[in-house]
Amino acid sequence: MGEAFAIDDIDRSIVAELRRNGRATNQQIADTLGLTATTVSSRIHRMEAANQLRVVAVSDFSAHGYNVLMEVAIEVDGRPATDVCTELAQFPEVFAAHVVTGRYDIDLLVVLRDFEELAGLLMGKFSNVRGIRSMVPSIAVDVIKYQFDVAPIEAKVTA
């Protein structure tokens, strides 16, 4: 892992341009921000090396035929939640798996092509994972916000 450094306004501007257009070239970003392509390239590489930036492609669930988005809250008993979560994360329908605090031990985000797959997933796949005490599925009826760039880059407030 690279050495951490302070993100400045130029870095934030570069990230904002990448969020706006992930396919923009370094030259296009440089032209927009009044920088050189070399500066943009070195800033991106520096942030990537410090694990402060990762440029990824995000696919649209519905474009791939997934029409059901669901959260599954899981209560674990008799086995470490991390082990159960690691096993559940291996199913292709699961795109996010978290060990959490609160009433439940695990929170999953799942996509399905249609509702007919629901019983097979919960009763045919998940129920075979040892340690699950209960599952509470919640089906999304409307997606108000889906934003992949969930880690905002904010300026640090100094006292």
Task: Domain ranges for the chain, please list them.
Answer: 9-49, 62-139
Higher pLDDT, 112 or 62: 112
Lowest mean pLDDT among 6-15, 30-39, 76-85, 90-99: 6-15
Q: What is the pLDDT of residue 159?
A: 46
Query: How many other β-carbons are positioned within 10 Å of the β-carbon of residue 139?
Result: 13
The confidence band for 34, taking pLDDT boundaries of 50, 70 and 90, is very high
pLDDT above 70 covers a percentage of the chain that reads 86
Q: Is it the case that residue 63 has pLDDT exceeding 80?
A: no
Q: For the chain, what is the radius of gyration of the CA atoms?
A: 20
Q: What is the pLDDT of residue 83?
A: 98
Q: What is the pLDDT of residue 21?
A: 86
Query: Taken in order 22, 27, 29, 31, is the CA torsion positive or negative?
Result: negative
- CATH no., domain 9-49: 1.10.10.10
Please write the tens of the pLDDT for every residue from 88-100: 999 999 989 999 9
Q: What DSSP string runs through the chain?
A: -PPP----HHHHHHHHHHHH-TT--HHHHHHHHT--HHHHHHHHHHHHHTTS--------TGGGT--EEEEEEEEE-SS-HHHHHHHHTTSTTEEEEEE-SSS-SEEEEEEESSGGGHHIIIIIIGGGSTTEEEEEEEE-S--S---S--S---PPP--
Please write the tens of the pLDDT for every residue from 9-26: 999 999 989 888 888 999
Q: Once rounded to an integer, what is the mean pLDDT over residues 105-129?
A: 94
Q: Does domain 62-139 have CATH number 3.30.70.920?
A: yes
Q: Once rounded to an integer, what is the mean pLDDT over residues 74-94?
A: 97
The confidence band for 1, taking pLDDT boundaries of 50, 70 and 90, is very low
Tokens of 48: 């990537």
Q: What is the pLDDT of residue 85?
A: 97
